[in-house]
Structure 1
């Protein structure tokens, strides 16, 4: 009977429960996404250059579990806030505390169970879509990728079953300890702003010290190892909490005393923030952590994506060489943007054993070579005093990243030729007249270098695919330039690149859900306050501005501290990345844009729920 009443209540109050249900669903989905990867040991070990990646993900799983637990606590409190007065009324009409407690427990479990089932399916869909789309966008083909595994499913079900049961029991105990009068007047007690600011000033200083210590440890993470990472995380989270707790109180206290606080509805805004002070310090600490994790993950992922072409360019002087380009391949070559070098060399081959090259062409347009410092430049002249095979080999040995690769590309049909087997190439440089009369199968090879590899990735991939189709003996060993080197490096770094983007999506979604959910959960209380303001003369425009500023403060604090966390924390990746700030600009723009969109959506939903467009009589 109580189960039917619980289901009926949820059905009839679906509009009120939808925010809670949506939040729980997203929490389950994100936890499932992360747990699926964390429990896919084969994927982690095969696609990472970090030896302890599996252990790091296990720690991350516990961290996300902690964040999810805090999130569900917010959701649990919201359920109590939403229903306390109704439970009190039920008791007034004769229901016992035991019956009401059972009703509350079943409502919690039913809603949580439904959200868990939906969340698991949403999580599988998000994992599959995000994983496949990211691999295509990043041109990755990661082995052992799975959007579902049984262990991840079991961990998710057990975790949420335990957490929902604990929350349900806590709700029952809370309800039994609460007096009837308190239930009927729930959420009408304001938290007073402390007047003794000394201890909060000390908390703020202590928080800053802990944050600085965490940044110092992050810079020395290579020497301290995994324990350093755990210690840095503990110090950072503790410092963030103390800073947010102290800063909110100190700022509100100062603002309240300023004469300017009486202008417009500023006093009301301060009061609103004060009212939810104890909840916001914990909330903002978690949101700050998720913001930093999202920004950091995206920075690292983008950094690896940008680092790979740079490393590849240090091992080859040109981007790609196209042998005997067809009309379609020529059209694709014309699509390349930012071309800094392009030329075509003619060749003649006799019986796939003897190769003739035009000395005049190489002298007129010098082949790109790498300087000793690894930067790309063009050789001023290719001096070839004789036209013998030995001279070609000598030149190839002198510039192995240039002519060596080119000769391998040309002689790809010779199965005995590899990048490390130059002895199989019988190549000669002929003068213009000798080359013209030489007999053999004529062909050409077009050498291209582009400034921005990532911008031309799609076209380059199409060219390589076409070359492999047109030349049956072509393989990854005979395609030369930076393109094959990029593919090789991605086989080592692609997993980190992928995980950076994937985890950024997960944390951004969780962040948006957590912050948006907590803010929207207060609308039931705020409706009355904004109604009163409207009744005493506050116009709609001013109410909207006030509401937007209040929510803006809540969104702004995690963003500022999160940026500091990432800026000082990125150096921990220096041993494996080199320039750790390479992807920070891109990540910052993307995260800020999405974060602002979350903020605008939250303001829109909040004001829509408050019905600020309506005039109240």
Structure 2
């Protein structure tokens, strides 16, 4: 057997230890490759959103690559520490330090090359389906056909082979200065009893509690200003939670004799305290990664709802003719809209209103005013709330800006320059009209008393029952009519399509990044669990000789694994929930449904992952006993 075969057989013998790490890296390679396929796709480059999407895809590849580097580095250091006894025996049997480093280098490259090939192969298998899915998601029917992605293949292989080469060269430095006795002892040295500070535990609760309090009470732009200090406080508090509070809580429980002497609780809590202390850094890392995944994906899904609702209007087509626009152009545009709707046999309701421009008395700020009867006619078509204004009464129409995160300011009265008569503002409404962030409505009598306006905008709307049927017409009219400085045409269905195309491209990029973070966080737990598998086998086999049954062992291990797996996820779910609530308060917009969907999906995935890992771990743990 050659030295290279020996290294390869070492990898195969430790496949249960390497499998989660191998699959996680293969998944990262697959996503990196798929992003490359999309980034270099000729059909995407030809689209209006192509530049934005390609930049987003390339940035996503960079983030995945950077994350993969640190994930591989952490994983390889974990594996090397878990196999230190094996390496110590090899040194005692005569292997030189140079040969040992060469062995580790070959093993790393074998795993890296295998994961790269597996990831690229999986990507090639799935890419056709994903191209079809992206066509539907982004709205590019038939434009993302399959092609042979040579550039993506070359970039993926070059990037990840280089990554594993660098990591392999770096990891051999772990063995410099170590004696054989240090390698053989490994992690079997006696561990001191886990200790925790009550004061650090209290500080942890204060930091997390204050971070939550600020997040749940801040509104609008206050959320943005509070984000850095709140994030820092919660991150530090989370670290202390795992290093101090968890250990301190177990110590308190161990003083409860009734609880500790019940069935196998003594064994369960005694071992759990050490596991919590040893795995505190891993739990902290998993919690942070999972919180980022929850918050990012929840925010992406929520933003889609916010953006869609911010552009929604009650009318299929809107056309505004400003001062300076010729009556002939206005007539041509209106007739073109009517002709297109009739050609497609789409029933419509046409309405018209005039926005008159004046200056406010005192500060001279321009205001747009609409009379009550015209506003109510528009609102009635929308099936919205109509106004009932008395003499000398007005209403301010200023929709809440969900993107800027602000509520309309409260106003008491309106005084038009040259009119002099104060109009009491008694109502606030939100009939959104493109181009008018704010306008006023007066009762018809007071409106008739106004002086000559500075200018008049002519506003035409077309209401239809089936908005989706106007998408193609809107696109055609948009290209024919165009835009000028004196008028504005707004085809709602087409504008929503353009917005969703751009946003879905961004969401497609962000979704997989969040999934990678979540899968990798589960892999960290898996790696830490299997790092101590040899010691756990010896420990539990010794206890089973004293009378512990397989059923009791299964219950102890399941309870410990449940704590180890779900405690970081539960903390991350709570952090993610608070973050999404803060996002709601920032935009004055409810994201309850989106938050529940995202967080529930991640919770279900984690439960399935736990069931699979538990079954595999118990099988490995009982293997030696069965033999």
TM-score interval for Structure 1 and Structure 2 normalised by the shorter chain: 0.5 to 0.7
Residues in 1 aligned to 2:480 and 2:380: alpha-carbon distance in whole angstroms: 25
Residue 552 (structure 1) aligned to one of 559, 562, 569: 562
Shift of residue 594, structure 1, vs aligned partner: 1.3
**Match in the other structure for 1:285:** 284
**Match in the other structure for 1:590:** 601
Alignment of 1:205-220 (within 5 A): 205=205, 207-208=207-208, 211-212=211-212, 215=215
Alpha-carbon spacing, 1:16–1:500, altered in 2? closer, same or farther (3 Å): closer
Q: Verify: 1:302 aligned to 2:301, yes or no.
A: yes
Aligned residues of 1:219 and 1:569 also touching (Cα < 8 A): no
Alignment of 1:360-371 (within 5 A): none
Shift of residue 31, structure 1, vs aligned partner: 5.6
Aligned to 2:279, what secondary structure does the other structure show? helix
Aligned residues of 2:316 and 2:493 also touching (Cα < 8 A): no
Residues in 2 aligned to 1:374 and 1:293: alpha-carbon distance in whole angstroms: 44
**Match in the other structure for 1:9:** 10
Gapped regions of structure 2 (runs ≥ 5): 318-337, 350-375, 387-430, 434-457, 482-489
Alpha-carbon spacing, 1:503–1:23, altered in 2? closer, same or farther (3 Å): closer
Alpha-carbon spacing, 1:299–1:400, altered in 2? closer, same or farther (3 Å): closer
**Match in the other structure for 1:98:** 98
**Match in the other structure for 1:568:** 578
Shift of residue 546, structure 1, vs aligned partner: 1.6
**Match in the other structure for 1:334:** none
Alpha-carbon spacing, 1:600–1:533, altered in 2? closer, same or farther (3 Å): same
Cα displacement string for residues 73-109 of structure 1 (whole angstroms, at most 9, x for unaligned residues) = 4421342245322222222222233322322233223
Shift of residue 69, structure 1, vs aligned partner: 4.5
Alpha-carbon spacing, 1:2–1:300, altered in 2? closer, same or farther (3 Å): same
**Match in the other structure for 1:412:** none
Alpha-carbon spacing, 1:549–1:25, altered in 2? closer, same or farther (3 Å): same
**Match in the other structure for 1:253:** 251
**Match in the other structure for 2:622:** 611
**Match in the other structure for 2:272:** 273
Aligned residues of 2:208 and 2:237 also touching (Cα < 8 A): yes
Aligned to 2:291, what secondary structure does the other structure show? helix
Aligned residues of 2:208 and 2:233 also touching (Cα < 8 A): no
Residues in 1 aligned to 2:217 and 2:54: alpha-carbon distance in whole angstroms: 19
Residues in 2 aligned to 1:65 and 1:215: alpha-carbon distance in whole angstroms: 32
Aligned to 1:112, what secondary structure does the other structure show? helix
Cα displacement string for residues 202-258 of structure 1 (whole angstroms, at most 9, x for unaligned residues) = 552475278459948996768868xx8677655554443233222222222222332
Aligned residues of 2:208 and 2:234 also touching (Cα < 8 A): no
Residues in 2 aligned to 1:217 and 1:62: alpha-carbon distance in whole angstroms: 36
Aligned residues of 1:303 and 1:580 also touching (Cα < 8 A): yes
Residues in 2 aligned to 1:307 and 1:499: alpha-carbon distance in whole angstroms: 19
Alpha-carbon spacing, 1:74–1:540, altered in 2? closer, same or farther (3 Å): farther
Aligned residues of 2:29 and 2:116 also touching (Cα < 8 A): yes
Residues in 2 aligned to 1:96 and 1:490: alpha-carbon distance in whole angstroms: 61
Residues in 1 aligned to 2:346 and 2:134: alpha-carbon distance in whole angstroms: 45
- State the TM-score, normalizing by the size of structure 2: 0.62
Residues in 2 aligned to 1:317 and 1:289: alpha-carbon distance in whole angstroms: 45
Aligned to 1:583, what secondary structure does the other structure show? helix
Aligned residues of 1:293 and 1:504 also touching (Cα < 8 A): yes
Structure 1 window deviating more from structure 2 (548-557 vs 94-103): it is: 94-103
**Match in the other structure for 1:244:** 242
Structure 1 window deviating more from structure 2 (159-168 vs 560-569): it is: 159-168
Residues in 1 aligned to 2:190 and 2:503: alpha-carbon distance in whole angstroms: 53
Cα displacement string for residues 295-321 of structure 1 (whole angstroms, at most 9, x for unaligned residues) = 223323332444466456543389xxx
Alpha-carbon spacing, 1:507–1:230, altered in 2? closer, same or farther (3 Å): same
**Match in the other structure for 1:179:** 179
Aligned residues of 1:204 and 1:242 also touching (Cα < 8 A): yes
Q: Verify: 1:114 aligned to 2:125, yes or no.
A: no
Aligned residues of 1:48 and 1:496 also touching (Cα < 8 A): no
Aligned residues of 1:520 and 1:602 also touching (Cα < 8 A): no
Cα displacement string for residues 167-202 of structure 1 (whole angstroms, at most 9, x for unaligned residues) = 5433x3333433323323333235323445245325
Alignment of 1:430-509 (within 5 A): 447=465, 483-484=493-494, 486-509=496-519
Cα displacement string for residues 30-61 of structure 1 (whole angstroms, at most 9, x for unaligned residues) = 56667888999x98x96599x99969995x77
Cα displacement string for residues 557-599 of structure 1 (whole angstroms, at most 9, x for unaligned residues) = 2222222322332334766784344411211221211121112
Residues in 2 aligned to 1:133 and 1:309: alpha-carbon distance in whole angstroms: 21
Aligned residues of 1:109 and 1:164 also touching (Cα < 8 A): yes
Q: Verify: 1:600 aligned to 2:598, yes or no.
A: no
CA RMSD for the aligned pairs? Answer: 5.4
Aligned to 2:95, what secondary structure does the other structure show? coil
Gapped regions of structure 1 (runs ≥ 5): 319-347, 360-368, 380-398, 402-419, 426-444, 450-459
Aligned residues of 2:138 and 2:502 also touching (Cα < 8 A): no
Alignment of 1:79-478 (within 5 A): 79-122=79-122, 129-130=129-130, 132-133=132-133, 136=136, 154=155, 157-158=158-159, 161-162=162-163, 165-166=166-167, 168-170=169-171, 172-195=172-195, 197-198=197-198, 200-201=200-201, 204-205=204-205, 207-208=207-208, 211-212=211-212, 215=215, 236-259=234-257, 260-307=259-306, 310-311=309-310, 314-316=313-315, 372=379, 376=383, 447=465
Aligned residues of 2:220 and 2:586 also touching (Cα < 8 A): no
Alpha-carbon spacing, 1:11–1:489, altered in 2? closer, same or farther (3 Å): closer
Residues in 1 aligned to 2:271 and 2:604: alpha-carbon distance in whole angstroms: 27
What is the aligned length?
A: 497
Q: Verify: 1:537 aligned to 2:547, yes or no.
A: yes
Alpha-carbon spacing, 1:263–1:500, altered in 2? closer, same or farther (3 Å): same
